[in-house]
């Protein structure tokens, strides 16, 4: 499965007095990457929760910090599915600085699928299929190697 990439620019509020990104923001960016990964496969958390009563609850999270990010850096959050099981799924992440390709952090999250009553349930097959599918091309973009007519 290919990585999905999402860009984020470091905001001033995400840094400390020295202009270095606070460690907690990487977890927020993991969630941002995960949400965008799902959108790229034509569904959203909101749709899963409201339409199919399936919530992806974070059960574990791991992050290894490798290098600092700074105010106004453009970062790339890379996300992919590592594992999909009947009642859980695991995502992996890499965050790197776009300007020099330095890896800043890497990590993973494990999610249990629950219903609105917080009872563990099976992941609906439709979402399993979408999570494991290839990313859908943007319908507003032109096919590769083809100019607009």
Residue tagged active-site, from 16, 52, 73, 117: 16
Say whether 138 is catalytic.
Answer: no
Task: Identify the H or E element spanning 112.
Answer: strand 103-114
Q: Please report, for residues 8, 70, 75, the alpha-carbon distance to residue 97 in angstroms, rounded to integers and kept in the order given.
A: 10, 10, 5
Listed in sequence order, the DSSP H helices in 7-134 are: 24-40, 45-52, 125-132
**Residue 39, by phi and psi: left (phi above 0), alpha (psi -120 to 50) or beta?**
alpha
Enumerate the active-site residues: 16
């Amino acid at each position: 499965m290919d990585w999905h990439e999402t860009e984020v620019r470091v905001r001033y509020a995400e840094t400390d007095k020295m202009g270095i990104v606070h460690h907690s923001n990487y977890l927020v960016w993991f969630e941002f990457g995960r949400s965008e990964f799902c959108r790229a496969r034509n569904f959203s958390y909101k749709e899963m929760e409201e339409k199919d009563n399936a919530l992806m609850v974070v059960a574990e999270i791991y992050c290894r910090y490798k290098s600092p990010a700074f105010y106004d850096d453009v970062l790339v959050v890379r996300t992919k599915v590592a594992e999909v099981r009947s009642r859980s799924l695991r995502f992996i992440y890499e965050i790197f600085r776009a300007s020099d390709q330095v890896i800043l952090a890497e990590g993973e999250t494990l999610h249990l699928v629950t219903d609105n009553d917080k009872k563990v349930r099976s992941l609906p097959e439709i979402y399993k299929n979408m999570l494991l599918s290839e990313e859908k091309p943007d319908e507003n973009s032109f096919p590769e190697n083809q100019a607009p007519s």
